[in-house]
Amino acid sequence: MSQVPPERREGRQLTAPRDPLPAEPTAARLHSYGGRLFPAPPEPRAVPLGSITFDRQRIDLVWLTRTDSILVDFADIEPKRIGTVVMREDGPGFVAQPGHLDWLGYDDRERRLLNAAVRVLSRGTAEAMRGRV
């Protein structure tokens, strides 16, 4: 005679649906939509800050909220990525992509682009905070 697993002997349901809620109450914020609880919608991770004109080139800026950095891309030139502005404790820094090092090295563009991106970010976050209040 074959052995019956203990789960079946005790009458437990092996196919019972699992509870979809997090293990701890602090693991995810829950919001009520129509009387049912759902996890809160995630924060946007990439927020477009807009475009700037810089030395007759249109440049797109995108803020990555999780890493607090700004992607700096050409709008019309390939390769698009110029670099990334990273926010550090001792101030922002610019990490350039190798495809545009010659363009960035001319006329102190790297520093000017870094300053412009930080200005746009500070203006955009200030406007966003005013909208939330």
Where in the chain are the domains?
12-39, 46-132
Residue 130 vs residue 91, higher pLDDT = 91
Q: List 64's β-bridge partners, or say none.
A: 46, 69
Alpha-carbon radius of gyration of the chain: 25
Structure token digits, residue 11: 């009458």
Instruction: Give me the percent of the chain exceeding a pLDDT of 70.
Output: 59
User: Which residues, including other chains, have CB under 8 Å from residue 54's CB and lie 6 or more apart?
Assistant: 109, 112, 113, 116
The whole-angstrom separation of Cα 44 and Cα 58 is 24
**Burial (Cβ within 10 Å: 0-12, 13-18, ≥19) of residue 20:** exposed
Which pLDDT band, with edges at 50, 70 and 90, does 80 fall under?
A: very high
Which pLDDT band, with edges at 50, 70 and 90, does 116 fall under?
A: very high
Q: What are the tens digits of pLDDT across the range 29-43?
A: 655 556 666 666 666
pLDDT at 123: 82
**Nearest alpha carbon to residue 72 among 115, 106, 129:** 115
Residue 9 vs residue 73, higher pLDDT = 73
